[in-house]
């Protein structure tokens, strides 16, 4: 949701430099920081400036107190979240699934000064397609449950799992067997490719296998555009900024090779351009040249289209599949499993009628432009 507002500009300058920008911040800057999910980063910068005695903070005392409280609460929660992440990854590893943690949870531990500064609602873990059932059993043995979701061979390449602790803290795992759901980008990076370049990092209580920096950049660029309607939230752009800022020339070339082979150069170019416009991300000239004009002909470029509708997204999926799989995908969308329908509707109606009502209720949504979600 980045735009040219004074609040977004002020926040971008603050995050890029770690110092207070000149001039007074706009009145709505803290509200905007929370909406963009960078408020914990703001709190950290304020706390650091106070310790370094770098002058009076430009925010009100009440706002500083609230931000400090939120950061401390996030730090406490993160202890439990990291402990559970290690426990979960170890269980999947013991089941022979070779789990790879990627996206927000991985970046929190590899690129942020402290992991609690990077908010995330869930943990994304990739396993092999053949190891999916073993991984599901391992998570259930840990006390996780899978809420109702639309499943199928083509309609979804991930399954959600949830476990609540006694104190109310909820752990959410998105178990992936492909890195993304849209067909045009679902095979951007396979488990085998990610595993071959993955790195093992130490975290409190254990170790995690995560995507290498070059792959993390491609995944961050693809996720932001393909799953979230080219959303321009500061947090996702800051992810790209942090990852890009540490890449060696060899890592840049690896990322370019992946983007070219997977036909996602336009998505990478877009993410890097937005990060550069907000945070001054330095992108080597050879990278800019390699990505220039990449949109033409790439199927994934549809996700950068303004006003993309669910029908347009479905058309993209269908173009990426063969004839038989097109029919199967349409069937999986229209007629999700009976277990899902009963879980959602209970016994409130004759099952065939529930399917008819589902199709009728959703028909009008297919032509409405998607809202950019966070």
Average pLDDT over residues 304-316: 92
Per-residue model confidence (pLDDT) at position 318: 96
| pLDDT score recorded for residue 97 | 96
Q: Is the pLDDT of residue 330 over 70?
A: yes
Chain centre to alpha carbon of residue 133: 23
pLDDT value for 124: 98
- Other CB atoms within a 10 A radius of the CB of residue 238 amount to 27
- Give the start-to-end residue ranges of the domains of the chain: 1-59, 310-367
Burial pattern 281-314, b for ≥16 Cβ within 10 A else e, equals bebeeebeebbeebbeebbbbbbbeeebeeebbb
Q: Is the pLDDT reported for residue 341 higher than 90?
A: no
* pLDDT classification of 57: cutoffs 50, 70, 90: confident
Full DSSP string of 52-76: TT-S--SS-HHHHHHHHHHHHHHHH
For residues 79 and 371, which has the higher predicted lDDT (pLDDT)? Answer: 79
Residue 374 has pLDDT above 50, yes or no: no
Dig out the tokens for 29 from the structure: 């800057």
What is this structure's pTM?
0.94
**pLDDT at residue 373 in the model:** 46
Percent of the chain topping pLDDT 90: 77
Task: Please tell me the distance from the alpha carbon of residue 162 to that of residue 156, in angstroms, as a whole number.
Answer: 17
Mean pLDDT of 127-155: 95
Residues 6+ apart with CB under 8 A from 341: 351, 354, 355, 358
pLDDT of residue 295 exceeding 70, the answer is no
pLDDT of 345 above 90: no
């Amino acid at each position: 949701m980045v735009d040219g507002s004074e609040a977004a500009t002020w926040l971008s300058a603050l995050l890029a430099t770690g110092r207070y920008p000149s001039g007074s911040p706009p009145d709505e800057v803290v509200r905007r920081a929370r909406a963009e999910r960078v408020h914990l980063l703001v709190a950290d910068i304020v706390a650091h400036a106070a310790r370094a005695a770098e002058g009076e903070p430009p925010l009100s005392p009440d706002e500083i107190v609230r931000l400090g409280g939120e950061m401390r609460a996030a730090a406490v929660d993160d202890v439990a979240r990291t402990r559970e992440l290690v426990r979960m990854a170890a269980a999947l590893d013991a089941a022979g699934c070779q789990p790879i943690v990627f996206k927000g949870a991985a970046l929190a531990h590899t690129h942020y000064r402290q992991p609690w500064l990077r908010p995330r609602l869930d943990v994304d873990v990739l396993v092999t397609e053949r190891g999916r059932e073993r991984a599901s059993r391992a998570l259930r043995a840990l006390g996780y449950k899978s809420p109702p979701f639309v499943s199928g061979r083509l309609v979804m390449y991930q399954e959600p799992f949830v476990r609540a602790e006694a104190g109310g803290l909820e752990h959410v795992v998105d178990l992936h067997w492909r890195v993304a759901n849209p067909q045009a980008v679902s095979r951007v990076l396979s488990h085998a490719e990610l595993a071959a370049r993955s790195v093992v990092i130490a975290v409190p209580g254990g170790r995690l296998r995560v995507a290498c920096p070059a792959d993390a950049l491609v995944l961050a660029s693809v996720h932001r555009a393909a799953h979230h309607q080219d959303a321009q939230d500061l947090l996702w752009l800051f992810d790209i900024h942090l990852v890009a800022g540490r890449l060696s020339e060899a890592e840049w070339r690896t990322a370019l090779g992946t983007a070219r082979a997977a036909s996602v150069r336009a998505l990478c170019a877009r993410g890097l351009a937005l990060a550069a416009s907000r945070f001054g991300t330095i992108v080597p000239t050879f990278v800019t040249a390699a990505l220039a004009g990449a949109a033409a002909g790439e199927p994934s470029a549809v996700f950068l289209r303004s006003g993309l509708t669910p029908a347009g997204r479905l058309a993209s999926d269908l173009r990426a599949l063969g004839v038989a799989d097109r029919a199967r995908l349409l069937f999986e969308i229209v007629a999700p499993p009976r277990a899902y329908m009963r879980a959602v509707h209970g016994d409130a109606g004759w099952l065939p009628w529930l399917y008819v009502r589902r199709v009728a209720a959703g028909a009008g949504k297919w032509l409405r432009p998607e809202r950019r979600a966070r």
